[in-house]
Amino acid sequence: MKFYINLFGDSIRYSHCSIPKEQFEKMNRVRIKNNTTWEQLLLDLDFLHHFGFAHWSEIGEFESKGFELNHKNKVEIKQQSKLVRKLNSMELYGDETFFPIYSIEKIQISHIQKEEFQQLLFVQFETGLFAKYAFETTDFDLSNIQFEIKNPLEEKRYNYLTGISYSGEKLLISLEDSVVRGVKVILL
């Protein structure tokens, strides 16, 4: 049988970026001179072109995304089109039950500092269908689902769901449909 896990609500997509310190200082002088923010500068294609980049994503080393665990965000587990379970994402922690219902794996993130580079996170805040995971099994068991949780933004109080496994096999996203509602640059 085919099963789906849908994640609806607020999420982030973030790129870990490294800029050579000398180039970063030149960019920062332009930012200060024009009295603007890093967010505005990194979205300005003329500014980026002046420094040899066609798009802000060219300074990114890797991109990741996370589904915010809060009381508004929803998780649906479906068998074909039949709803098996619907919950708000905070229920994954099991704080409101005597024992945890869901298996979670908390992963620590450490940002490796490179001395000759200024590092930053370029964060996009999104809303909508964060991910749709599809998998097939003949013996579905809710306890075989494992949720991977990280906190890439130390200033945010929420953790983020970054991946799901079923019976030890990492599930791949089959669909996503969200809109960007804001951006932020965080200097590391």
Q: What is the pLDDT of residues 86-112, one digit of tens each?
A: 999 888 876 666 666 778 887 766 666
Q: State the residue range of the domain holding 174.
A: 2-187
Q: How far is residue 72's CA from residue 134's CA, in Å, rounded to a whole number?
A: 23
Quick one: tokens of 9? 């609500």
pLDDT(181) > 90: yes
Task: Quote the number of domains for the chain.
Answer: 1
Q: How far is residue 54's CA from residue 131's CA, in Å, rounded to a whole number?
A: 28
Put residue 145 in one of left, alpha, beta given phi > 0 → left and psi -120 to 50 → alpha: beta
Residues 109 and 156 sit within 8 Å (Cβ to Cβ): no
**152: phi then psi, degrees, rounded to nearest 5:** -75, -20
Q: Residue 147's pLDDT is what? A: 92
- DSSP class of 171: P
The overall pTM is greater than 0.85: no
Nearest to 159 by CA among 110, 109, 122: 109
